Amino acid sequence: MPTKVIVDTDTGIDDAMGCALALKSPELEVLAMTSIFGNVSVELTTENTAYLMELLGRADIPLAVGAAGGLVEKPRFSPYVHGDDGVGNAGFPKATKVKPVARSAAQLIVDICREHPGEVTIIALGPLTNVALALAIDPDLPKFCPRVVWMGGVVYGKGNVTPVAEADAWHDPESAQMVLQQPGWSVEMVGLDVTERCVIRQEHLDALIASKAPAAQYVAKITPFYMQFYSGVLGEYACAVHSALTVAVVAQPALVTEAVDLPIQVELNGRHTRGMTVADRRLGATNGGGGADWRDVPLTRVPTEVDFEAFRKMFLERLTS
């Protein structure tokens, strides 16, 4: 039985890879796609998501427009990472068959989770604003949607947008804190601890280029821009595939070979640390021994090791089929 999912996405390059993988994975039943600001504006992430859905023949799935900015701050974009359009300046046309529904992303999340109580996993590939707004609409949401898997944060490594903050947490720390602190929600934070080590290289790009499959051709066209940026980060012509790995661990949980459960809070005020996902790794922290400020913090699951080779094999097989 496929896992029912809602994919909440700020469709830039790696997010497009994740969306394509979700739509091509038989283990997942995608009930909805929801857009969110992040890598680029929500207008562009919506257009990018709609085009990809249409390209892959999934006009049957509802698409809803989400938040244009965080709960507190205005959005800040980085076109040098994903291109002005979010997909490597690829010049794709606008979708003609996929149009957003009238409901907001947050309302659609609530409605679908209530239609399928206890069955839906939210895969959040961007800032958590839509999920937080859904929670504001329906505080009982965790009763109907038991699991959130988020591409965001970092525990053991460095940040990617500041020395300590990962981009999706940094874009809207208030929403991330709201979701991570929600009692009764099972949250898995697939962060930079694993995603920055999950890279594809020229050999993998060549396999995509050689395929005639629409998903492969699409990803092959947008990836060189991303690899060019990441060359300066990784020291080689390659790129991290953050969002695709996040989707993959929902489709195939066995890809995660090691994980820890930790109390995590998101820094909201620090001048240099805003957006940092602060994990209490002290002895006794996971059983309420961390002190008053941490005693009631829910545990968040953090993958620390993944079978990267198995992921890459899955990723290429799905996109080239």
Sign (positive or negative) of CA dihedral 140, 38, 320, 61: positive
**Whole-number average pLDDT of the chain:** 96
d(C-alpha 113, C-alpha 132), whole Å: 14
Q: In the structure, what pLDDT confidence band is assigned to residue 290 with cuts at 50, 70 and 90?
A: low
* DSSP β-ladder status, 277-279 and 256-266: antiparallel
Q: Which fold has domain 3-320?
A: Inosine-uridine Nucleoside N-ribohydrolase; Chain A (3.90.245)
Strand pairing partners for 147?
A: 121, 186
Say yes or no to pLDDT of 286 above 90: no
pLDDT of residue 288 exceeding 70, the answer is no
- Integer Cα distance of 187 and 150 in angstroms: 7
- Chain centroid to CA 8: 7
Residue 317 token pair = 């097989």
pTM, whole model, 2 decimals? 0.97
**51, 57, 60, 62: CA torsion to nearest 10:** -30
Phi, psi of 133 (to 5 degrees): -70, -35
Rounded distance between C-alpha atoms, residue 143 and residue 183, angstroms: 10
Hey, where are the domains in the chain? 3-320
Is the model's pLDDT at 291 over the cut of 80?
Answer: no
Q: What count of other Cβ atoms lies within 10 Å of the Cβ of residue 214?
A: 15
pLDDT at 293: 81
Residues 182, 148 contacting (CB under 8 angstroms)? no
281 pLDDT above the threshold of 80: yes
Six token digits for residue 311: 């992921």
Q: Does residue 107 contact residue 115 with C-beta atoms inside 8 Å? A: no
| CA 248, chain centre distance (Å) | 11
Query: What's the pLDDT score for residue 284?
Result: 75
Residues 8 and 10: their CA atoms lie apart, in Å, by 7
pLDDT digits over 126-176, tens only? 999 999 999 999 999 999 999 999 999 999 999 999 999 999 999 999 999
Distance CA 199, CA 293 (A): 37
Name the pairing type of β-strands 238-240 and 199-201.
antiparallel
Percent of the chain with pLDDT over 90: 95
pLDDT of residue 287: 67
pLDDT tens-digit readout, 196-214: 999 999 999 999 999 999 9
Say if residue 120's pLDDT is above 90.
yes
Query: Which of the residues 10, 15, 168, 280 is marked catalytic?
Result: 10
Q: State the catalytic residue, choosing from 82, 171, 204, 242.
A: 242
pLDDT tens by residue, 210-257: 999 999 999 999 999 999 999 999 999 999 999 999 999 999 999 999
Q: Are strands 299-306 and 256-266 parallel, antiparallel or unpaired?
A: antiparallel
Of 103, 187, 114, the C-alpha closest to 152 is: 187
The answer to whether residue 10 is catalytic is: yes
307 tagged catalytic: no
> In whole angstroms, what is the distance from residue 86 CA to residue 47 CA?
10
Higher-pLDDT residue of 296 and 125 is 125
Instruction: Supply the DSSP symbol for 275.
Output: T
